[in-house]
Amino acid sequence: MTTHSEIHDDLSFEDSYNFAYLDEQTKRMIRRALLKAVAIPGYQVPFASREMPMPYGWGTGGVQVTAACLVPDDCVKVIDQGADDTTNAVSIRSFFERTAGVATTEKTTDASLIQTRHRIPETPLTEDQILVYQVPIPEPLRFLEPRETETRKMHALTEYGLMHVKLYEDISQHGHIATSYAYPVKVDDRYIMDPSPIPKFDNPKMDDCPALQLFGAGREQRIYAIPPYSKVKSLDFDDYPFSQLRAPETCAICGADDSYLDEMIIDDDGGRMFVCSDTDFCASRQNEQGFEPAEVAS
Amino acid sequence: MDASSLSGGFVDHAVQSATAFRDLLQAMARPGLIFTMNGTEPPAPLSIAAGVAVLTLCDADTMIYLAPSVDNDDIRSWVAFHTGAPFASSRVADFAIGKWDELFEIKDFPAGNDEYPDRSATLICSLPALVAGKTRLTGPGIKGAHWLDLPDGGDEMRRVDLYPCGRDLILTAGDQLAALPRTIHLETG
Ligand SMILES: [Zn+2]
């Protein structure tokens, strides 16, 4: 189990630490990688990932990308599977409050930079926002080919046949493409890219998105990007077109019939209900409808 | 080293370079949009915008090529003092600084390779003015089209024929800055 205390408590914006924690040389190195990533959409730029005061799996890649991008007047939102109030999200938010002195928010519409693990907010993003994804495994071809030298060649030669074979095997086994998370996309008609483990329900939000999208993988030391208004196409076949996957239910709290839902077990008899995975989206809908959220975050 | 090479840099480096980088990031992500930069006073004829880009991106790990128009003692001292970056020939440069016409003439800036297209030079390229104009820019980062007044040769400088290899341009004029990554398609109407 991870706990809040795993992020060192001795960080303070006032004294020993630099703006946004990282030293200037590290930020410059990450910033150069970010510019290359934006200039070559979907290509994974290697970078020298630094030790962060939190374990891998806590989004150290995303944290480093965010740290290199932050300015003092940013307003930062952090979500973990759609929620702002998990230990992970709260800790990362507090890390940036303490090390960069930035404001934070849980409201998607108030945020200038959103760091995310495993979801894209339901509320459409704008040109004034940056979305930073935490990425565990950046290489979409890795489960087909474990050798980095080989996957790099495959990207260089646009040799993406294996990926289509894998998806087609899905179809012959299951009658449809069973991949429902980290569903591969092609960016700007060139690179196949792993969108991180977001549900494929979120894939269409990446296409023609007004916000800049940045991806950071800490352990694997890769940064990649999708510039605003770029073409992002989920891989599919003429006879099996891509389809968004969503439980055919409505949110039990706000009644949304178009949001991505989490299934919750509510009693010992196996009773279930479906609620929005995006907690801010659900809360705003409740406010609009004139009733208080069941639980107000402090 | 005289006093002028010590001045004209960022006063609050961490915050000024963070703010400058955010503009550089947005410039590269939204090619053709023009940003106003500030915070440096480099020796002539280096512009404020070029000075900001150099101080934000360059350090001991990056090789800088200076084209003849900016290759003077004052600029060398200023860049060396504020960044620690080594100077190098065009063939191995990570960053190159000069006028558009000068950089256009140099053909051997790195353009990366098929497996590492990021191992390419970024050309910090000065223009007499940076204004909306007759060149139509389309591609990633642009909704519809952006327009700039650009000289001929932008495709050759960026080596767009080699995509995804190629080079990216940071365009500067005074305190104005825009970017032209290798992805962008140019048409002059
Ligand atoms: Zn809801």
Q: Which is more confident, A293 or B98?
A: B98
User: DSSP secondary-structure letter at B161?
Assistant: G
Q: What is the pLDDT of residue A245?
A: 77
Task: Please report which helix (H) or strand (E) contains residue A281, including its range.
Answer: helix A279-288
Note whether B18 and A19 are within 8 A (CB).
yes
A61, A69, A282, A290: which one is catalytic?
A282
Bridge partner list, B111: B120
Whether A70 and chain B come into contact, CB under 8 Å, resolves to yes
Where does the pLDDT of residue A3 fall: very low under 50, low under 70, confident under 90, or very high at 90 and above? very low
Q: What is the pLDDT of residue B6?
A: 79
Q: Which is more confident, A114 or B12?
A: A114
CB contact under 8 A, A38 and B28: yes
Gap between the terminal Cα atoms of chain A: 23
Q: What is the pLDDT of residue A168?
A: 86
Tokens of A161: 């046949």
Distance CA A50, CA A221 (A): 9
Nearest-Cα residue of chain A relative to residue B13: A24
Cβ-proximal residues to A79 (8 Å cutoff; 6+ apart), any chain: A89, A114, A115, A116, A117, A119, A121, A278, A280
Q: Report ipTM for this prediction.
A: 0.98
Gap between the terminal Cα atoms of chain B: 48
Say which amino acid occupies A184: P
User: How does pLDDT run across A26-36, given as a tens digit for each residue?
Assistant: 999 999 999 99
Q: What is the pLDDT of residue A238?
A: 87
Where does the pLDDT of residue B24 fall: very low under 50, low under 70, confident under 90, or very high at 90 and above? very high
Instruction: Tell me if residue A255 is catalytic.
Output: no
Write down the residue that tokens 């968004």 correspond to: A244
Note whether A116 and A133 are within 8 A (CB).
yes
Q: What is the pLDDT of residue A248?
A: 87
User: How does pLDDT run across A139-166, given as a tens digit for each residue?
Assistant: 999 989 999 999 999 999 999 998 988 8
Say which amino acid occupies A189: D
Distance CA A226, CA A41 (A): 5
Whether A168 and chain B come into contact, CB under 8 Å, resolves to no
Distance CA A111, CA A94 (A): 15
Tokens of B132: 């909306």
Where does the pLDDT of residue A291 fall: very low under 50, low under 70, confident under 90, or very high at 90 and above? low
User: How does pLDDT run across A14-62, given as a tens digit for each residue?
Assistant: 444 589 999 999 999 999 999 999 999 999 999 998 988 887 778 999 9
SS3 of residue B24 by DSSP: helix
Q: Helix axis angle, B48-57 relative to B73-83, nearest 10°?
A: 40
Shortest alpha-carbon distance between residue B126 and chain A (Å): 19
Q: What is the pLDDT of residue B1?
A: 46
User: How does pLDDT run across B112-132, given as a tens digit for each residue?
Assistant: 999 999 999 999 999 999 999
Torsion-angle region of A101 (φ positive above 0: left; ψ -120 to 50: alpha; else: beta):
left
Tokens of B13: 């480096």
State percent of chain B over pLDDT 90: 95
Nearest-Cα residue of chain A relative to residue B29: A227
Neighbours of A2 (CB within 10 A): 13
SS3 of residue A111 by DSSP: coil
Q: What are phi and psi of A145, to 5 degrees?
A: -150, 105
Note whether B184 and B137 are within 8 A (CB).
yes
Pick the range with the lowest mean pLDDT from A66-70, A122-126, A162-166, A273-277.
A162-166
**What is the mean predicted confidence (pLDDT) over A1-9?**
42
Instruction: Tell me if residue A69 is catalytic.
Output: no
Note whether B118 and A45 are within 8 A (CB).
yes
Residue A2 has pLDDT above 60, yes or no: no
A42, A61, A62, A218: which one is catalytic?
A42
- Tell me how many residue pairs between chain A and chain B have CB atoms under 8 A apart: 111
**How remote is the CA of residue A252 from the centroid of ligand 1, in Å?**
7
Whether A7 and chain B come into contact, CB under 8 Å, resolves to no
Residue A10 has pLDDT above 80, yes or no: no
Chain A interface test: which of B11, B19, B24, B28 (most A C-beta within 10 Å) = B28
Residue B40 has pLDDT above 80, yes or no: yes
Note whether B176 and B49 are within 8 A (CB).
yes
Cβ-proximal residues to B106 (8 Å cutoff; 6+ apart), any chain: B67, B90, B96
Where does the pLDDT of residue B152 fall: very low under 50, low under 70, confident under 90, or very high at 90 and above? very high
DSSP characters for A15-39? TTSBTTBS-HHHHHHHHHHHHHHHH
Say which amino acid occupies B43: P
Q: How far is CA A106 from CA A125, A127, A206, in A?
A: 14, 19, 21
User: DSSP secondary-structure letter at A157?
Assistant: T
- Write A140-147 long-range contacts (CB < 8 A, 24+): A140/A182, A140/A184, A140/A192, A140/A193, A140/A194, A141/A192
User: How does pLDDT run across A200-255, given as a tens digit for each residue?
Assistant: 999 999 999 999 999 999 999 999 999 999 999 999 988 888 988 788 899 999 99
Whether B80 and chain A come into contact, CB under 8 Å, resolves to no
DSSP characters for B92-117? G-SEEEEEHHHHHH---S-B--SS-T
Beta strands A191-193 and A185-187 are: antiparallel
Task: Please report which helix (H) or strand (E) contains residue A199, including its range.
Answer: none
Sign of CA dihedral A51, A53, A55, A60: negative
Write out chain A residues lying below 8 Å of B25, CB-based.
31, 34-35, 38, 69, 212
Distance CA A127, CA A112 (A): 10
Nearest-Cα residue of chain B relative to residue A36: B118
> What would you measure as the largest C-alpha separation in chain A, in angstroms?
61
**What is the mean predicted confidence (pLDDT) over A108-126?**
98
Sign of CA dihedral A230, B165, B64, A27: positive
Q: Which is more confident, A179 or A215?
A: A215
Whether A264 and chain B come into contact, CB under 8 Å, resolves to no
Summary mean pLDDT of chain B:
96
Residue B175 has pLDDT above 80, yes or no: yes
